[in-house]
Amino acid sequence: MLSREENDLLTRVGRGTPAGNFLRRYWQPVAVAAELNDKPIKRVRILGEDLVLYRGQDGGYGLVEERCPHRGASLAYGKIEGDNIRCVYHGWLFSPLGKCLEQPAEPDDSSFKDRVKHPGYRVEKLAGLLYAYLGPEPAPLLPRYDVLARNDGVRKIKVHPVLDCNWLQPMENSVDPTHTTYLHFGGTGKPIHGDVKKAVDKHDFEAFEHGIMKKRYVKNGGGQLALVNAHPLVFPNMLRQCHGREHYIQYRVPLDDTHTAFIQVYFTESKDGAMVDQPDDPPLEYLPPYKSDDGVHRMDKVIAQDYMAWETAGAIYDRTREQLGAADRGIILYRKLLKEQIDKVAAGKDPIGVIRNPEVNRLIRFETVTDSARGD
Ligand code: FES
Ligand SMILES: [Fe+2]
C-alpha cells in the first residue's frame, strides 16, 4: 500500500514532477518513422506535453511544442522549410530544436527573436522508431538494445491501441509473474485454480544494471530447482521478453498521467545466425481496439486480458487501497528502485540505465532464458 503522496510521486509525469523529471532522462519512442512518410507533420503527446513532430526536407526530424509562442496557433499546420518549421499565422520560423529564426513582421534590426524560448527536443531514428529526448543537456546516447540494433535476423513493429490508464499499471505487471497462470492460462481453458504454485515453484527478482531480472524456476525430476525463464524489466518503462528465437521489447510510454502508448518491437534471430539486410522501416502492424466503445474488454487474447487488468484498476490506480502479499515482492522492488532513481535525478545524477559510453552502446545484449511456456 502507498500513501497518496507516494502514489502521486510515482505516477505523475508532467513537466516539473519528480517522476516526470526522472522519465525525461531517457529517450522515449514518440512515433513510428514511417508515419511521417506521407504526411511529414504529426501531432504527438508525451509526458503531458503537446508537441509537433516533423520530417525536414533533408530527412532530419524536428520536435517542437505545438502551440506557437507568438499567438498560440498550432504548428501542426506549419510549413516545412528545409530543416525548419514556419507558423502559418504570422510566419515565425523555428529550428528543429525550437530556436526562433525569423519573425517577418518585426523590424529588421529587432533582437526579439533571440529572446523567444520555444521548447524543442532532440529526435533520433532507430529500428524504424523515432525517439525523443525531453531532458536536460547533455543528452545521453540513444541505447542500442539488442532487439533494436542486431542485424542477424528480422524486425517488425506492432502498435497497440493507446491504454486508457497510467504508465505504472502496465509496468508493475512486468514484475507480477503470478498473474500469468490465472489471467492468461484461465483465458485459454488450461488449468487454473490450485495450480499456480505448481506451475512455477519459485520466482526471483534481481536488480541489475538496467533494471530487474525476473527469474522462474521449476523443480526437475530430482527435486532440484531448474531455471526455465529469465528476462528483464528494463528501466524505466520497458519489458524485454523472449520466446525461443523471438525477442521483443514492450514499451509503455506515458502520453500523460492517464494515457499510455504501447509499442512492441520484435526481433527474430535467423536460424543459422545469418546477417540480414535491414529495411529503413521494418514491417508495421496496428492492432485494433481490445474493448468495445462501451468499455467491455475482449478476453480471448493475452494482450486483451492484460489491457483489462491494467485499465480496470482505474485511470490512475489508487494504491492507498491495495493489499500486497508475498507474491507481489517484484512490484515492491520495482517501486523501491523507482523511488531511488527519482531521488538520484533530484540530486542531479544519472539514473540507472542511462548510457553515455559509445563503446558500451555498440550493442546492449540481455541474457535471457526461455522455455516454451509463455509468460510476461
Ligand atoms: S501565432 Fe505563430 S507566428 Fe503568430
Ligand atoms: Fe500478462
Q: How far is the CA of 237 from the centre of ligand 1 (A)?
A: 36
Has residue 189 got a pLDDT over 80? no
Give strand pairing partners of 124: 131
User: In what helix (H) or strand (E) does residue 340 lie, and over which residues does it extend?
Assistant: helix 329-346
Q: How confident is the model at residue 185 (pLDDT cuts 50, 70, 90)?
A: confident
> What percentage of residues in the chain have a pLDDT greater than 70?
94
Query: How far is residue 69's CA from residue 87's CA, in Å, rounded to a whole number?
Result: 10
CA 57 – CA 82 distance, rounded (Å): 5
Is 205's C-beta closer than 6 angstroms to any atom of ligand 1?
no
CA of 100 to the centre of ligand 1 (A): 11
Is the confidence at residue 197, as pLDDT, over 60? no
For the stretch 291-316, pLDDT in tens is 999 999 999 888 999 999 999 999 99
Is 339 near ligand 1, meaning CB less than 6 Å away? Answer: no
Residue 90 Cβ contacting ligand 1 at under 6 Å: yes
Q: Which residue in this structure is represented by grid cell 529550428? A: 95
Q: Where do the CATH 2.102.10.10 domains begin and end in the chain?
A: 27-133
3.40.50, 3.90.380, 3.30.450, 3.60.21: which CATH number matches 146-362?
3.90.380
Give CATH 3.90.380 domain extents, the chain: 146-362
Minimal-distance CA residue to ligand 1 atom 3? 90
Q: Which ligand is nearest to the CA of 172?
A: 2
Which ligand lies nearest to the CA atom of residue 113 in the structure? 1
Q: What is the pLDDT of residue 374?
A: 46
| DSSP code at position 237 | T
Residue 92, ligand 1, Cβ within 6 A: yes
The answer, as to whether pTM is greater than 0.75, is yes
| Ligand number, closest to the Cα atom of 79 | 1
pLDDT per residue as tens digits for the range 333-354: 999 999 999 999 999 999 999 9
Cα dihedral: 191, 197, 202, 203 (round 10): 70
Mean pLDDT confidence for 4-24? 98
What digits encode the pLDDT tens for the residues 47-70?
A: 999 999 999 999 999 999 999 999
Nearest to 330 by CA among 250, 215, 181: 215
Identify the residue whose cell numbers are 520466446.
243
Q: What is the CATH number of domain 27-133?
A: 2.102.10.10
Relative to the CA of 92, which ligand 1 atom is closest? 3
Per-residue model confidence as pLDDT tens digits over 223-257: 888 898 899 999 999 999 998 899 999 999 999 99
